[in-house]
């Protein structure tokens, strides 16, 4: 059935049954909004750890890291590991979420800036972000599961056969040194790269699969709220860890079967002898045009700022009993994901050894490997892997659903329809939650690749990040400056880039806007490994097979032996400068810009900057730095030029942020009463007394925890480098 065995289907059904039962169990315990959206603020370190791990780890995590590593070498791990260096910051920042004592992060904008409308706008922005995260998971699990039920060649339709043959042709051209290709072959390579033909077609329809998973998530998460989400996250966290290690022994055995040897040590030595040296370059591999060191640095800067303002940060930490449970659980859960990321990237290197000549779409590597390595045992292992992926998706989707639901219910619906009772708002929360899951499924259809979705997610919160960070620690930002920062950023970076091409479709075919980076060649000297020799022999064989009249301008590639130093030339392909989804071909073969328009780069081009000579990663770095910095500049300038908000309102906000949370709710209420009665009660905690800056002096727990967090980040990098060194 659907290309799966009966035992695989039984494993999947059993898992679904358990999580749905948990949802209905939790549903009986819900009495009000705080129960539904924050599970009564009762969770300790264990549940908080797995909640943070689960909401940060979706099906896209393992699949996405494998995809980028398969394509770019080990440097591809930065698609997920770029959060690593920002993780110690969470130790300091996440207690803010608990100390705010609010239901949603939208409430921060109402309380700090005195604007219900701003809270509502944030609710819309946050909900779109949550749907995007859900959509990434839907896309990942779809591509992977589709690969688990492939059609045989004899079952292809005529259209599928034609596309399969184009994919094979593209594989042949990509494997060759670019300098060895004729001009016609180079043109054909460029054309096929735009078409992106598939070589894998499935019995499972991707759209049907998305809606099935969507329905199951709605059943248990809509019913049980955050408690159901976090309880299943604990179960699903275990499944995710299983997912991270289950393929390793099977991959080692397969490598040893193909190349000889026994045990993990021989398999790892084979990996080093087979793969080109460039695949082990953690920083700066010429093949990793999407993840250069400067692009990684810029993304790290952006996500460190933006991840805190994601609305799920409030849900993931606001449900903790106290501040220590909140910060310990969040940081520990995030570091668990970082370790898993290292394992996913390392597995992808083994997948390159096994499948470099078999897979065209890197997004399908995980599914293809699962079927190949586990399917022949017929022990339900493929079903277990699908359950693991679905667990990873649902552990994120349920938290994102509850987050978006709380924003729409509490910050939009409740202000419009006040005083309707807690049960009514819980019902509304369940309805909006279902709509958010459906919205995530729809968003998944709007992007071509998982990496495109990740980039959109990384950037989306720039609209509100400045208002949060500066509003949290500086007294000068007021309602006017916050509004201007949000609105101007939204218009310039998100609204106009969509509206302009929609109402002026000619922009998509404007030759100036179809500009691309110039193809550039990078030469590096490496020691030849087995895969290098195999590739060179294929080039020589192909050269000798073509007619002499066609090869008169091309020299025959030189023979290569293992251990020989040789120079390899990489072609960094031409990529669109201004369109987020690149340049595509329509049915008539005409080029058009796809996706949204990067207006900031259009402006730089108009100012005389030559973006064509930049590498694609450099243009992307410039673009994300502009998007990150401009909202802060707007807010700072306008905050200094306009009148501050009422001092009394600001005092009440900041004294609350200085009042530690007591795990006893009654005592915490009393502490807040004392703080509101004396807004200057904790002024002695200020690092800069008498100033407008509200940085607090670090406590012993702050200092020790931050230092340990930094050490853990370094240890994880050392762990990755150690894995890469084994067998070398």
Q: What are the CA-CA distances from residue 285 to residues 71, 151, 171, 491 (Å)? A: 11, 35, 21, 36
pLDDT at position 59, please?
59
Per-residue pLDDT at 485: 96
Between 558 and 714, the more confident residue is 714
Segment 521-535 shows an average pLDDT of 77
| 387-432 tens-digit pLDDT | 777 766 666 677 777 788 888 988 999 899 988 877 788 788 778 8
Is 568 a residue whose pLDDT tops 80? no
Q: How far apart are CA 100 and CA 305, in angstroms?
A: 19
Counting every residue, how long is the chain? 728
What average pLDDT does the segment 657-674 reach? 90
Going by the DSSP 8-state scheme, the letter that residue 151 receives in this structure is P
Tokens representing residue 567 in the block: 């120079």
C-alpha dihedral (182, 186, 191, 195), degrees to nearest 10: 110
**Residue 291 tokens, joined:** 């993840």
Average pLDDT, the chain: 80
Task: Annotate 504-515 with DSSP letters as a single string.
Answer: -GGGGG-TTTT-
Confidence category of residue 166, pLDDT binned at 50, 70, 90: confident
Burial class (CB in 10 A: 0-12, 13-18, 19+), 257: exposed
Least-confidence region, from 442-451, 571-580, 673-682: 442-451
Pull the structure tokens for residue 466. 């400045």
| 94: exposed, middle or buried (Cβ count in 10 Å: 0-12, 13-18, 19+) | buried
Residue-wise burial string across 383-417, b where 16 or more C-beta atoms lie within 10 A, e elsewhere: bbbbbbbbbbbbbbbbbbbbbbbbbbbbbbbbeee
How many whole angstroms from its chain centre is CA 561? 40
Q: What's the whole-number mean pLDDT along residues 538-563?
A: 71
| Percent of the chain residues topping a pLDDT of 70 | 80
CB 19 within 8 A of CB 235: yes
Query: What mean pLDDT do residues 357-371 have?
Result: 73
Torsion angle, alpha carbons of 450, 451, 452, 453, to 10: 50
- For the ranges 18-32, 464-478, 511-525, which has the lowest average pLDDT? 18-32
Q: Which residues pair with 591 in a beta bridge?
A: 585
3-state secondary structure 434-486: HHHHHHHHHHHHHCCCHHHHHHHHHHHCHHHHHHHHHHHHECCCCHHHHHHHH
Please, which pLDDT band fits residue 38 given cuts at 50, 70 and 90? low
In this prediction, residue 360 carries a pLDDT of 62
Distance CA 115, CA 384 (A): 48
Q: What is the pLDDT of residues 682-725, one digit of tens each?
A: 988 899 988 999 999 999 999 999 999 999 999 999 999 888 88
Please, are residues 393 and 127 in contact by the beta-carbon 8 Å criterion? Answer: no
Angle at 63 between CA 58 and CA 67, to 5 degrees: 140
* Whole-angstrom distance, CA of residue 120 vs CA of residue 492: 20
Distance separating alpha carbons of residues 105 and 125, to the nearest angstrom: 11
What pLDDT shows up at residue 194?
Answer: 65
Instruction: Choose among 61, 138, 51: nearest CA to 347.
Output: 61
Q: How far apart are CA 212 and CA 693, in angstroms?
A: 50
Per-residue pLDDT, 273 = 84
Rounded to whole angstroms, the Cα distance separating 343 from 429 reads 37
What's the CA gap between 226 and 402, in Å, rounded?
6
The encoded tokens of residue 705 equal 């925890």
Which DSSP state fits 559?
P
The answer to whether 210 touches 602, Cβ cutoff 8 Å, is: no
| Whole-number Å distance between alpha carbons of 44 and 682 | 27
pLDDT tens readout for residues 82-125:
778 888 988 998 889 888 888 888 999 999 999 999 999 999 98
Burial class (CB within 10 angstroms; exposed 0-12, middle 13-18, buried 19+) of 511 = exposed
Q: Regarding beta strands 591-593 and 583-585, do their DSSP bridges make them parallel or antiparallel, or are they unpaired?
A: antiparallel
- 638-646: average pLDDT: 92
486 versus 546: the higher-pLDDT residue is: 486
Residue 308 contacts residue 467 (beta carbons within 8 Å): no
The residue ranking higher by pLDDT, 303 or 3, is 303
Q: Which ranges constitute the DSSP H helices of 260-322?
A: 263-274, 293-306, 312-318
Helix then strand count (H, E) for the chain reads 30, 4
Lowest mean pLDDT among 66-80, 379-393, 481-495: 379-393
User: Which residues contact residue 376 at a Cβ distance below 8 angstroms, ignoring those fewer than 6 apart?
Assistant: none
Answer whether residue 20 shows pLDDT above 60. yes
**What structural domains and CATH numbers belong to the chain?**
6-150+202-471 (1.20.1730.10), 647-685 (no CATH)
Residue 502 structure tokens: 């929609």
- pLDDT > 90: what percent of the chain? 21
Average pLDDT over residues 269-291: 75
- 1 pLDDT higher than 60: no
Specify the pLDDT at position 453. Answer: 67
Model confidence over 445-475: pLDDT tens digits? 666 666 666 667 778 888 999 999 999 999 9
Q: How far out from the chain centre does Cα 378 lie?
A: 33
């Amino acid at each position: 059935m659907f290309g799966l065995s009966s035992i695989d289907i039984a494993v999947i059904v059993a898992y679904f049954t358990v999580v749905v039962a948990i949802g209905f169990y939790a549903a009986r315990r819900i009495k009000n909004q705080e129960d539904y959206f924050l599970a009564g603020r009762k969770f300790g370190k264990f549940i908080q750890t797995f909640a943070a791990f689960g909401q940060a780890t979706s099906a896209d995590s393992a699949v996405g890291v494998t995809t980028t590593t398969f394509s770019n070498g080990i440097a591809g791990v930065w698609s997920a590991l770029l959060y690593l260096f920002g993780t110690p910051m969470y130790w300091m920042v996440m207690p803010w979420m608990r100390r705010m004592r609010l239901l949603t992060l939208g409430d921060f904008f109402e309380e700090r800036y005195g604007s219900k409308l701003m809270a509502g706008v944030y609710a819309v922005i946050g909900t779109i972000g949550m749907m995007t995260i859900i959509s990434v998971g839907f896309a990942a699990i779809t591509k992977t599961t589709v690969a688990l039920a492939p059609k045989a060649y004899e079952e292809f339709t005529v259209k599928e056969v034609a596309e399969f043959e184009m994919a094979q042709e593209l594989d042949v051209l990509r494997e060759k040194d670019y300098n060895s290709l004729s001009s016609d072959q180079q043109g054909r390579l460029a054309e096929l790269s735009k078409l992106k033909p598939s070589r894998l077609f499935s019995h499972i329809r991707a759209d049907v699969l998305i809606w099935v998973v969507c329905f199951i998530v709605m059943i248990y998460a809509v019913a049980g709220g955050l408690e159901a989400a976090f309880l299943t996250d604990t179960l699903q966290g275990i499944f995710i860890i299983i997912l991270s290690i289950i393929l390793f022994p099977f991959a080692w055995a397969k490598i040893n079967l193909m190349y000889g040897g026994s045990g993990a040590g021989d398999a790892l030595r084979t990996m080093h002898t087979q793969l080109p040296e460039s695949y082990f370059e953690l920083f700066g591999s010429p093949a990793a045009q999407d993840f250069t060191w400067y692009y990684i640095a810029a993304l790290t800067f952006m996500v460190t700022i933006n991840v805190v303002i994601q609305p799920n940060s409030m849900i993931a930490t606001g449900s903790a009993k106290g501040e220590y449970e909140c910060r310990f659980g969040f940081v520990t859960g995030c570091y668990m994901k970082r370790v898993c990321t290292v394992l996913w990237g390392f597995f992808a290197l083994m997948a390159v050894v096994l499948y470099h000549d078999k897979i065209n779409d890197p997004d399908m590597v995980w599914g293809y490997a699962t079927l190949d390595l586990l399917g022949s045992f017929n022990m339900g292992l493929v079903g277990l892997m699908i359950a693991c992926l679905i667990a990873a998706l649902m552990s994120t989707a349920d938290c994102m659903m509850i987050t978006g639901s709380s924003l729409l219910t509490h910050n939009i619906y409740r202000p419009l329809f006040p005083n309707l009772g807690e049960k009514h708002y819980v019902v509304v929360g369940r309805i909006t939650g279902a709509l958010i899951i459906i919205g995530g499924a729809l968003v998944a259809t709007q992007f071509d690749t998982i990496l495109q979705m990740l980039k959109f997610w990384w950037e989306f919160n720039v609209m509100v990040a400045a208002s949060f960070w500066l509003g949290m620690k500086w007294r000068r930002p007021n309602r006017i400056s916050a509004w201007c920062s949000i609105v101007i950023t939204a218009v310039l970076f998100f609204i106009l880039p969509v509206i302009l091409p929609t109402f002026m479709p000619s922009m998509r075919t404007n030759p100036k806007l179809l500009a691309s980076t110039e193809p550039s060649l990078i030469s590096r000297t490496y020691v030849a490994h087995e895969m290098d020799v195999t590739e060179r022999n294929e080039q020589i064989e192909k050269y000798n097979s073509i007619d002499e009249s066609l090869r008169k301008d091309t020299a025959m590639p030189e023979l290569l032996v293992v251990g020989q130093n040789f120079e390899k030339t990489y072609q960094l392909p031409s990529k669109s400068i201004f369109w987020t989804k690149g340049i595509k071909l329509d049915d008539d073969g005409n080029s058009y810009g796809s996706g949204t328009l990067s207006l900031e780069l259009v402006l730089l081009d108009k100012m005389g900057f030559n973006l064509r000579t930049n590498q694609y990663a450099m243009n992307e770095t410039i673009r994300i730095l502009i998007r990150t910095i401009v909202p802060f500049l707007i807010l700072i300038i306008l905050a200094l030029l306009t009148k501050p908000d009422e001092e009394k309102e600001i005092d009440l906000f900041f004294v609350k942020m200085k009042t530690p949370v007591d795990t006893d709710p009654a005592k915490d209420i009393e502490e807040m009463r004392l703080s509101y009665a004396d807004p200057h009660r904790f002024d002695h905690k200020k690092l800069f007394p008498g100033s407008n800056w509200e940085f607090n002096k670090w406590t012993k727990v702050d200092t020790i925890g931050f230092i340990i967090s930094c050490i853990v980040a370094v240890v994880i990098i050392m762990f990755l480098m150690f894995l890469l060194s084994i067998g070398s």
